[in-house]
Amino acid sequence: MAVSISKVKCNGCRACADICPANAIKIEQNKAVVSDERVECGECVNECPNGAISLQK
Give me the half-sphere count of Cα atoms (radius 13 Å) on the Cβ side of residue 47: 17
Q: In this predicted model, what pLDDT tens digit does every residue of 23-49 receive, in sequence order?
A: 999 999 999 999 887 888 899 999 999
Give the model's pLDDT for residue 18.
97
Query: How many residues are listed for the chain in this entry?
Result: 57
DSSP 8-class letter at 42: S
According to CATH, the topology of domain 2-56 is Alpha-Beta Plaits (3.30.70)
Domain ranges of the chain: 2-56
Residue 39 phi, psi dihedral angles, 5° rounding: -115, -5
20 or 57, higher pLDDT: 20
Residue 1 reports pLDDT greater than 80: no
